[in-house]
């Protein structure tokens, strides 16, 4: 394995980050984002330190007030003496824009608090989901010793489904205006949400949305939850109302999954998926190398001439890619 010659070694960097050195942590995360050859060594070195952080996901449609709510959650967790890291997923989609500016403002607000670390990540996954790097950044924050990692997704595309692959507890934020669009997304929401929070609850339609959600939850018996029923909370994040209850509901869900064995199952699933992500990344690299080789170029020629199908070329390659 290559070692970062001339600079601090991975082991030292991890050690420094774990001792609270934010510059070291920032360097670790940048290394993970860049996907260099030594990512493998870095993650392997980090990995043994992981497993203690609680990972909460926050998702919901654009405009639901996720950033404000997450900000309030930070304050509450800090007041209770916990350290908090935030990963804000910045969508690469050209039609949605990003939260970058907002995050800079937030980072300034917490800049003097050494117990808070906020980082924006672009979704660089091939299909716009949470990228492999995102999961590894969460690992790095976990290994660094943060008590809580809050992952805030943009609520567009598929990131809100992918949040299930890294968060222990998922909080879905809605606003009264979301009501009309809920009909089409019932099934998906029921699968995702461990806690529902109706933000901007001072608006007239809020109670109606709460009732609809409760009805949906009542109808959707979900055995995989082992007796847990997602609560529906009312909130006004801008006025700091209802956010303590949200934090308590997330903690309560955490207790449930720990005691019911669901947490252990989730952790197993997440780690197996991480192994698959590593294999996928390796496949992409070896595929690119293989296609530029002489024999790869020959196969491509046969493919273009339609003498071989994509499956036949894949089968011919898979021996070579091993």
Nearer to its own copies, 40 or 248 (CB): 40
| Given 77, 85, 192, 237, the residue binding its own copies (CB under 8 A) | 192
Q: Taking CB under 8 A as the rule, does residue 155 contact its own copies?
A: yes
User: Which residues from 74-93 bind its own copies, rule CB under 8 A?
Assistant: 91-93
* Among the residue ranges 24-32, 38-46, 109-117, 206-214, the one whose residues contact its own copies (CB under 8 A): 38-46
Cβ proximity of 242 and 235 under 8 Å: yes
The interface region with its own copies, picked from 3-11, 27-35, 195-203, 264-272 by CB under 8 A, is: 264-272
CB 118 within 8 A of CB 86: yes
Q: Which of 74, 173, 137 is nearest to 277 (CA)?
A: 137
Q: Residue 40: which residues within 8 A CB-CB, separation 6 or more?
A: 1, 278
282 counts as binding its own copies under rule CB under 8 A:
yes
**Contact with its own copies (CB under 8 A) among 6, 204, 218, 319:** 319
Determine which residue in the list 189, 197, 243, 247 makes contact with its own copies, applying CB under 8 A.
189
User: Per CB under 8 A, does 267 bind its own copies?
Assistant: yes
Please answer whether residues 118 and 25 qualify as being in contact, where contact means their C-beta atoms are separated by less than 8 angstroms: no
Q: Does 222 bind its own copies (CB under 8 A)?
A: no
Positions 45 through 74 that interact with its own copies (CB under 8 A): 47-48, 50-51, 60-61
Among 57, 65, 157, 231, interactor with its own copies by CB under 8 A = 157
**Contact residue for its own copies among 2, 5, 37, 275 (CB under 8 A):** 275
Q: Based on the shown chain and the rule CB under 8 A, indicate whether residue 260 belongs to the binding site for its own copies.
A: no
Give the up-direction half-sphere exposure of residue 23: CA atoms within 13 A in the CB hemisphere: 1
Rounded CA separation 63/199 (Å): 10
Task: For residue 290, give the nearest of 246, 245, 322, 252 by alpha carbon.
Answer: 322
| Number of other residues whose CB lies within 10 A of the CB of residue 212 | 18
Which residue lies nearer to its own copies by CB, 20 or 51?
51
State the minimum distance, in angstroms, from the CB of residue 193 to its own copies.
9
Verify binding: residue 245, its own copies, rule CB under 8 A: no
Q: Which bin fits 141, alpha (ψ -120 to 50), beta or left (φ > 0)?
A: alpha
Residues touching its own copies: how many (CB under 8 A)? 72
Q: Phi, psi (5° rounding) for residue 264?
A: -60, -40
């Amino acid at each position: 394995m290559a070692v970062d010659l001339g600079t601090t070694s991975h082991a030292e960097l991890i050690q420094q980050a774990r001792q609270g050195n934010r510059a070291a942590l920032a360097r670790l995360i940048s290394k993970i984002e860049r996907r260099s050859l030594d990512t493998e060594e870095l993650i392997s070195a980090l990995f043994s330190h992981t497993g203690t952080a609680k990972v909460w996901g926050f998702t919901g449609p654009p405009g639901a007030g996720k950033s404000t709510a997450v900000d309030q959650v930070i304050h509450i967790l800090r007041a209770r003496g916990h350290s908090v890291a935030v990963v804000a997923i910045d969508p690469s989609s050209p039609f949605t824009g990003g939260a970058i500016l907002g995050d800079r403002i937030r980072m300034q607000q917490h800049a003097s608090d050494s117990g808070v670390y906020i980082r924006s990540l672009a979704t660089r996954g091939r299909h716009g989901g949470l990228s492999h790097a995102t999961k590894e950044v969460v690992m790095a924050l976990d290994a660094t010793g943060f008590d809580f990692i809050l992952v805030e997704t943009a609520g567009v595309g598929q990131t809100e489904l992918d949040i299930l692959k890294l968060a222990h507890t998922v909080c879905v934020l809605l606003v009264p205006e979301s009501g009309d669009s809920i009909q089409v997304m019932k099934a998906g929401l029921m699968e995702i949400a461990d806690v529902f929070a109706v933000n901007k609850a001072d608006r007239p339609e809020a109670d109606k949305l709460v009732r609809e959600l409760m009805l949906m939850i009542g109808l959707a018996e979900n055995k995989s939850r082992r007796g847990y029923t997602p609560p529906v909370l009312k909130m006004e994040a801008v006025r700091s109302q209802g956010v303590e209850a949200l934090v308590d509901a997330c903690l309560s869900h955490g207790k449930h999954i720990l005691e019911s064995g669901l947490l252990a199952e989730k952790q197993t699933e997440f780690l197996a998926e991480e192994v698959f992500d590593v294999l996928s990344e390796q496949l992409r690299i070896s595929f690119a190398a293989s296609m530029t080789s002489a024999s790869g170029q020959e196969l491509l020629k046969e493919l273009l001439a339609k003498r071989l199908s994509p499956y036949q070329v894949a089968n011919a390659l898979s021996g070579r890619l091993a």
